[in-house]
Structure 1
């Protein structure tokens, strides 16, 4: 059987998607919804699941008992461990990542570090630089966690420059931005297979 046929029959890559914004109508949630739609149409072979970080308690090692974590934390860590790669939708707050996202990152980094050797990508939107400084900080954090980020294409979008990128409910409506997001997913897919030692 040809290699391409083998891959077409293989299980899709499991992508754990994390949104750094807790706001229900946030543009970053809209980006992830669009990524899921793209994975069902034009970028096949991906199974993107948004992993909710809102229920996680604030990191407190007093909550670690007999080398176990609270149930919500254990469930979150399991999702990260089982993922083939990670997609971060990261807003920029004060030149950095948001508190909820940093909290999630820290919980999953507790021993054993379940981020280790995961391929990852970052998508951001907002005003000004479109979240680029938060991405730079997240990449710095990833160095210590052994996360391997794709370098290109970069994806940080100014949400407020015309044409309109999102509707009033936070859904991505700009086709050129969707195409850029598609290229991120293609790159993440290829990089994930590359780290696994396989062809995509």
Structure 2
């Protein structure tokens, strides 16, 4: 009983969810909405907050003044810093991550890097390979940023292969895909707690 009380007393894992697409009806944003619903409904101790990256200016170090950033950048960096884990929804553009997502990665990596030592997971909704190539590039970037990605389960979704996975608003309607998304979230939750225990020990 003592162990269960200790486990139950743990603070929730706070996840910031970022979407590489800026379209409101993006299926990748639909994945984030579904992930948020799943966390609230069936995963105790996991809180997901979607953070919009569209207000960020294009990276320009002229905008840095005496180690400070514009209000939009400062607010974004604070959200990343305060999060324990990151959920990326990364569509594939031209074999890679999108420009808005790369811009967000770069802004939060400026000194001091606020990505470091956070758990992370990637989901993708795209055509053909389901965004696989964007995920592999994102993992490469994450090495330099000291992000710790879960390795499995992987989540690549071909959004255009029948039967329909999303409705006209970009909301996820496929129950099997929803279960796969839940498996990713459970793995991210478990890995986040593992990193938390490691940091306490160290």
Superposition TM-score tier, normalisation by shorter sequence: over 0.9
Structure 2, unaligned runs of 5 or more: none
1:55 corresponding residue in structure 2: 55
Please, what TM-score do these two structures have when normalized by structure 1? 0.97
1:116 corresponding residue in structure 2: 116
Q: Determine if the alignment matches structure 1 residue 25 to structure 2 residue 28.
A: no
Q: Which moved more, 1:8-17 or 1:22-31?
A: 8-17
Distance 1:141 1:35 in 2: 23
1:66-90 Cα distance to aligned partner (Å, 9 max, x none): 1101111011000000001000000
2:161 corresponding residue in structure 1: 161
Tell me how many residue pairs correspond in the alignment. Answer: 198
SS of corresponding position for 1:170: coil
2:143 corresponding residue in structure 1: 143
Distance 1:7 1:40 in 2: 18
Quote how far apart the aligned CAs of 1:43 are. Answer: 1.4
SS of corresponding position for 1:103: helix
Output the aligned Cα RMSD. 1.0
SS of corresponding position for 1:40: helix
Quote how far apart the aligned CAs of 1:182 are. Answer: 0.2
Distance 1:41 1:27 in 2: 21
SS of corresponding position for 2:125: strand
Quote how far apart the aligned CAs of 1:122 are. Answer: 0.1
Output aligned runs, 1:49-88, within 5 Å: 49-88=49-88
Quote how far apart the aligned CAs of 1:196 are. Answer: 1.1
Distance 1:96 1:9 in 2: 41
1:37-61 Cα distance to aligned partner (Å, 9 max, x none): 0001111211100011000000000
Distance 2:156 2:145 in 1: 22
SS of corresponding position for 2:92: coil
Output aligned runs, 1:122-133, within 5 Å: 122-133=122-133
